[in-house]
Structure 1
């Protein structure tokens, strides 16, 4: 039996109202997926576990959800889910026009346009702006995400929750960046890990790179 909405509500603890919004999101995803490739086709029947729960599990790790930058948003995971859960403002960035149109359609259908901004552009093209949190799901190495999200975007450098697979996600930024971090097992993939990083700063030319430790 596939993981369904009732099981998601039980495991995530979200309200029925929130779950119903996510259900509309899932319906729109299935409809648009029939015309364009938004997610891996094999994952669509398991949308509540592979996408909704996978994104929702980040919520507990985010220290300050006031302004989230979601890099490589694709079909909106995790950024759009975090907006539905109550993030102050979420900027969704994706360079593929059809995916941006889908994100705009879902945001409008869920009355989230005042709290969601969709940018159809490469992350490098965005003007500098401060964000409290950066999220991404398997779109680049950790070092690249730090470069995009911290140096280029002028974040407050106090939080980031990219997802790394097979527990190796934190190592990718060790030589270029100093940061504190913790690794969390994914609730949806036994091989997956979530890298929760904060106090992110580039390593000075004469400094030593490395991980500051885990809480």
Structure 2
């Protein structure tokens, strides 16, 4: 079965206006992919499930925890903008997109402009950013949990949470991370990947 924008809308209940903005994003991704290789070529045909749904599934969980307030999000290793730009377009809050690859940042900048997403693009490595207050640190397909925690550490306050999209190796990564970090872990089953999981890390403290 083909999974496209209509199926995405039925599953996520986004507004027509939000769906139109995500369609602009999808159109730009397909256009840029031909020359710039922003994501794996094998995922382009299934982008609405593999990329957009995978990112969007975080939104209702974040809302259930934080309510309707606009969040300041730090997206580490943003790539082509997933999940941060999708969440920004969905109205979750302001996304700070951190990506060292210049062409991917130019792409995200165009998506942000054409969709009016609340986003700031940082074309640097995460270690080079002066820390600022964030509500949530998010990441997808970037690095292991322990590495993400190390990168996020300067931005973590007592209330900052980390929300990570992970695959089948999540438990192994968490075991590794918990040798150096204390945290509360909540898991949510993935809508886009039977073997995937959305991880919520809260009460994060370095041991």
What TM-score, normalized by structure 1, do the two folds share? 0.89
Q: Which runs of 5+ in 1 are unaligned?
A: 204-215
The match for 1:80 among 66, 85, 97 is 85
Aligned counterpart, 2:10 = 10
- Tell whether the 8 Å contact from 1:128 to 1:152 is kept in structure 2 after alignment: yes
Q: CA deviation at 1:110?
A: 1.1
- Tell whether the 8 Å contact from 2:183 to 2:201 is kept in structure 1 after alignment: yes
- Tell whether the 8 Å contact from 1:131 to 1:156 is kept in structure 2 after alignment: no
1:138 and 2:141 aligned: yes
Q: CA deviation at 1:140?
A: 0.9
Equivalent residue runs for 1:55-204 within 5 Å:
55-62=55-62, 63-64=65-66, 65-112=70-117, 115-149=118-152, 151-166=153-168, 167-168=170-171, 169-203=173-207
- Tell whether the 8 Å contact from 1:159 to 1:199 is kept in structure 2 after alignment: yes
Q: CA deviation at 1:156?
A: 4.5
Please give the root-mean-square deviation of Cα atoms over the aligned residues, in Å. Answer: 1.3
Superposed CA offset, 1:3-60 (max 9, x none) = 0111111111111111111011000000111111101101011111001110000112
Structure 1 CA distance for aligned equivalents of residues 6 and 178 of structure 2: 41
Q: CA deviation at 1:88?
A: 2.4
Structure 1 CA distance for aligned equivalents of residues 27 and 187 of structure 2: 32
Aligned counterpart, 1:51 = 51
Superposed CA offset, 1:55-105 (max 9, x none) = 000112223452000000000000000000112211000000000000001
Instruction: Give the number of the structure whose residues are more often helix, by fraction.
Output: 2
Q: CA deviation at 1:172?
A: 3.2
- The number of residue pairs the alignment matches comes to 200
Q: Which runs of 5+ in 2 are unaligned?
A: none
- Tell whether the 8 Å contact from 2:87 to 2:93 is kept in structure 1 after alignment: no
What TM-score, normalized by structure 2, do the two folds share? 0.92
Structure 2 CA distance for aligned equivalents of residues 148 and 61 of structure 1: 23
Equivalent residue runs for 1:27-46 within 5 Å:
27-46=27-46
- Tell whether the 8 Å contact from 2:94 to 2:119 is kept in structure 1 after alignment: yes
Aligned counterpart, 1:211 = none
